[in-house]
Amino acid sequence: MKAVFFDLDGTLLDTVEDIRSAVNYALRAYDGEEASRDEVRRYVGRGLRRALLTAVSEKHPKGICDDNEFSLAFALMMSYYRNHPADHAVPYPGIPELLESLKGRGIRLGIVSNKDDGIVQAIVSKFFPSVFDFVSGQIAGTPLKPDPTLLLSALEKVGAAVDESVYVGDSEVDAETGKRAGVRTLVVSYGFRSPEELADAGIKADAADVGELSSLL
């Protein structure tokens, strides 16, 4: 093993409350019902635009009527989130120690996220300065996960082959991403998807906590 790549939300950090605040900021502007923590946890995984679209369909199906209006709501959400990227976010217990251990062994570390790249960079700079060799969120022109393009690009940039790398995530999207890339993938159940939700998607979780993940790696 030469490199380990991680999803960000639900894998390294609990970011639900910050995403929830941004989603609800947009919903409130259109008099929508606020989304709960568990609902937002379910919305995320395929990019922030998709998360808000799901929130609108469930919480205010008649309040945002056309694409232009939705684009304004999305811009509102993103403006709030860029100004409050990590007010409530915290690393999962054991994550800082795991990253320190891997880095101390000379393992190359990366983050591949479907979240807006600017927000990803701000969050990683706050919690993990100088830890990762590769960090990327959503970039214009690059497809979102589960398309493997960004993960494969990350491998190339850190100089690791597919069979020398591991990808760690917390959702069905991450499992599919790793599969498409041909990279060994570990799926955790302490993040945004419960063991039951993963099982419903046909996925058996590999680690229930960071301790188990550390042992596997």
At 31, the pLDDT band (50, 70, 90 cuts) reads confident
Question: Do residues 12 and 174 touch, judged by C-beta distance below 8 A?
Answer: no
Per-residue confidence (pLDDT) for residue 64, from 0 to 100:
66
User: What per-residue confidence (pLDDT) applies to 45?
Assistant: 83
Mean pLDDT of 115-120: 96
Domains of the chain in sequence order: 3-14+89-216 (3.40.50.1000), 16-83 (1.10.150.240)
Q: Are 33 and 27 in contact (CB under 8 A)?
A: yes
How does pLDDT run across 121-144, given as a tens digit for each residue? 999 999 999 999 999 999 999 999
Per-residue confidence at 151, pLDDT binned at 50, 70, 90? very high
pLDDT at 62 over 80: no
Among 214, 5, 212, 215, which residue's Cα sits nearest to residue 108?
Answer: 5
- Dihedral sign, CA of 91, 112, 110, 194? positive
Catalytic pick among 7, 9, 18, 116:
7
CA distances in angstroms from 39 to 16, 158, 164, listed in the order given: 10, 36, 36
- What pLDDT sits at residue 47? 87
| Position 61 confidence tier, pLDDT thresholds 50, 70, 90 | low
Distances (CA, A) of 195 to 6, 43, 73, 174, 187: 19, 17, 33, 14, 10
Burial 66-80 (b: 16+ CB within 10 A, else e): eeeebeebbebbbeb
Instruction: Please give the C-alpha separations between residue 115 and each of 18, 64, 104, in angstroms, as whole numbers.
Output: 13, 23, 28
Average pLDDT of the chain, as a whole number: 95
Q: CA torsion sign, 79 to 83 to 88 to 90?
A: positive
Say whether 67 is catalytic. Answer: no
Full-prediction pTM beyond 0.95? no
What pLDDT digit, counting tens, does each position of 72-92 carry? Answer: 999 999 999 999 999 999 999
Which run of H or E residues covers position 110?
strand 108-116
b/e code 35-52 from CB counts within 10 Å (16+ = b): beeebbbbbbbbbbbebb
